[in-house]
Amino acid sequence: MMRAVLVATLMVFFAGDAVLAAEEDSPATNSSAPAQLADGRGIPEVVFAVRTVLPEHWYANFGYFSPDDNHKCYGQGGRLCKLDLKTGKLSLLLEDPEGAVRDPCVHYDGSRIVFSYRRGGSDTYHLYEIQADGSGLRQLTDGIYDDIEPCWLPDGGIVFASARSRRWVQCWLTQVATLHRCDADGRNIRQLSANLEHDNTPWVLPDGRILYMRWEYVDRSQVHYHHLWTMNPDGTGQTVFFGNLHPGDVYIDAKPIPGSDRVALIKSPGHGATEHAGYVASLGVKQGPDHLPSLQTLSRSADFRDPWALADDWFLAARQNTLVLMDRQGTVRTLYTLPAEFGGAWLHEPRPLAARNREPVIPPRVNPARPTGRFLLNNVYSGRNMAGVRPGEIKKLLVIESLPKPVNFTGGMDPLSYVGTFTLERVLGTVPVEADGSAFFEAPALRSLLFVALDENDLAVKRMQSFATLLPGETQGCVGCHTQRSATPPAEVPQLPEAARRAPSVIEPIPDAPDVPDFPRDVQPVLDRHCVKCHDYDKRDGGVVLTGDRGPMFSHSYYTLVVWRQVADGRNYPRSNYPPRTLGSGGSPLMDKLEPSHYQVQVPARDRQTVRLWLDAGAPYPGTYAALGTGMIGGYQKNEQVLENDAQWPQTRAAQEVFKRRCAACHDEKQRPIPRSLSDEIGLSFWAPDMNDPRLRQSRHIVFNLTRPDQSLILLAPLAKAAGGYGLCRSPEVSKENGGSVLPGKDDSDYRTLLAMCEAGRDRLNEIKRFDMPGFRPRPEYVREMKRYGALPATFDGEKDPIDAYALDRRYWNLLGWPAAQP
């Protein structure tokens, strides 16, 4: 009844001034708006938060930046406010000049508010409850991790996002918050999501499910898949609501529209804007989660936040420091502007302070006593984009776990991969697929799992580019491989799938195989045994080098395999559901090079398995997260090339004159550019280059050799053949006695200058160490976070105490599964 009164009154407000109603962004003072609204029918109050804003990513608004835990992601000046729309009176329920307030959610009875609050002088947000009159402030959660975005649940609990999941954004320098729940008093906190990235803005749908934003990128673009998902209040039944298949914007702050089957949300453009700013939009999913026309943009600009639907054609929203009312045509009227004494703070999360109906309670399905759940696949051959896959062709599913990061330092994937995976993946093993295409198996709970369909040769036929999570005791099913989420099994299916008529399979580990592949440790020995005899610097068949010599960031063999397109992965592209045998071992030409048809090479089955599993596990360079932010000349931090940039080294500066005199005639910035320093990217994007760009084959990652500096291509290419070079660079100004080579011999002073630059890189790399070098130690920030998580003792000395980074990673991951993940 209260909502109807509010809607009716606001309609009078809009219709009362025809001129203003026809304009967008019509101005209104704080005194005039309530006066026009005051028609005697009783307008509910609105509660909202006020806080300062930092110009950061939409998710970077709690915690600290990894390189410096004193560099906070939040500002100061927090208020929880109550506005009477009839009188214009603003009441401060809570004010903390040095703290911050966010995410108020009014209880079903309208009498109390749960919100997230960082007290002044503290570093961490926690959940609090306060009465609607400002009395009875009560802290609900505590600890060293941030708790944000609470929402009341119909069963009396609270769902919220929390950094208790102990992981960092895969492509930035801030922490991740995933969905958790607790009792109304803050007790019995339990993690609901195993997402490696953020879950945000949970809210309850009319049927009792939780609607939330899930950001993910499994072997695909990091900036195109932050869409809407649902789960039950106990975390079971995680499934897509809208998006995920198609690239799109950030769909966030979604809530039901009263009297309809649609939701209102913010469509924040591209990779999202500060504090979720974007277009107000309306969405219905009657035609499924992939029907893009179902999403309708309502506002005319992208500077709105936190919409609240009063009806299917009236929306409250925040807009910088104002509270606005919008209709479906995008016409906007300002209801309230923060007073000047609030400074540059913004108004956030407006909610009517009124009672509302409680949604139905979905009974819990979790069995906390069980550490596993079960997956049931009806028919792997039933799905989209499966053309050419014959019944009976798929024999197994490879089960892979995508592994969280304990810390991160940049917006790219370096040094985990070159323009490929952002994460390490763990091969758990295989499960059988029955003749009818069905599979039924146990899997560990609260893990981020994906599956690869394998043929009789264990080669990848189809790869999943999203992840699935089980809660303890949950059984989750799917119809087929990449089927519509809304699809059901065909009606003509006469009986249960074969796999469902037996006990569930247990994941079978793969013997004699590393579960988390590491290229230098696992794959390079295979190349040394079977490939290097034809692909070393003294032979270089096909222009290909497959030695393990180190470049400024990667080994030459790793970089060569990627750039010469021998590895097939998602490449950070905004694309999903590739055709069969496109990704992983089934689509990588490298596997063909291991067959006798490639110059009679004889590669044992175990070596082929090593390479195959490396490809299917995302083809990473290191096999440890301790490598992050280390062992790179010209590495990136916060997207700036500040890690060991050699541009001002004396040896690099001396070499610039050589490049100018001996190379510039053929190699300028536009015509066949070559790197002039170990850090010079020659205009290539460090995280999204065009893989067809010819500059990739002469980038810094391949022309500088920091293991054997005299074998650097920057030296061998212009060096005369008679002197041991390739004689590829020639100049008419050079004596024909040397074939016209730019560098006639190793005693040439310019050769010595270039060699000195390469040797300086070798010497510096030997000092700072790469993950595969003796004496390597992780960054202090990695150690700091491992101590915070409890993976290392508080007394551990990061400079002196022995450390096994590979073992430490595993200790950290083991802290995160069920039941260890429960705080």
Position 7 scores a pLDDT of: 40
Q: Which amino acid, one-letter code, is at 422? A: F
CA distance 201 to 218: 22
Residues 6 or more apart whose CB falls under 8 angstroms from that of 496 comprise none
Interhelix angle for 749-768 vs 650-658, to 10°?
Answer: 150
Position 740 scores a pLDDT of: 78
CA distance 725 to 718: 7
Position 6 scores a pLDDT of: 42
**Are 499 and 376 within 8 A, CB to CB?**
yes
- Listed as ranges, residues in the chain with pLDDT below 70 are 1-43, 485-494, 732-739, 820-823
Interhelix angle for 780-789 vs 805-814, to 10°?
Answer: 30
Helices and strands: H and E segment counts in the chain:
13, 35
Position 9 scores a pLDDT of: 40
Domains and CATH numbers, the chain: 2-353 (2.120.10.30), 519-768 (no CATH), 780-814 (no CATH)
Q: Which residues pair with 327 in a beta bridge?
A: 314
CA distance 610 to 544: 21
Cβ density class 365-379: b for 16+ within 10 Å, e for less: bbeeebbbbbbbbbb
Cβ density class 53-92: b for 16+ within 10 Å, e for less: beeebbbbbbbbbbbeeeebbbeebbbbbbbbbbebebee
**Are 313 and 304 within 8 A, CB to CB?**
no
The token pair that represents 107 in the structure block: 């209880």
What pTM did the predictor assign? Answer: 0.93
Position 495 scores a pLDDT of: 82
Other C-beta atoms closer than 10 Å to the C-beta of 476 total 18
End-to-end CA distance of the chain: 41
Torsional sign, CA 518, 524, 525, 530: positive
Strand-pair category, 475-478 with 372-377: parallel
Position 772 scores a pLDDT of: 98
CA distance 733 to 151: 75
**Are 756 and 654 within 8 A, CB to CB?**
yes
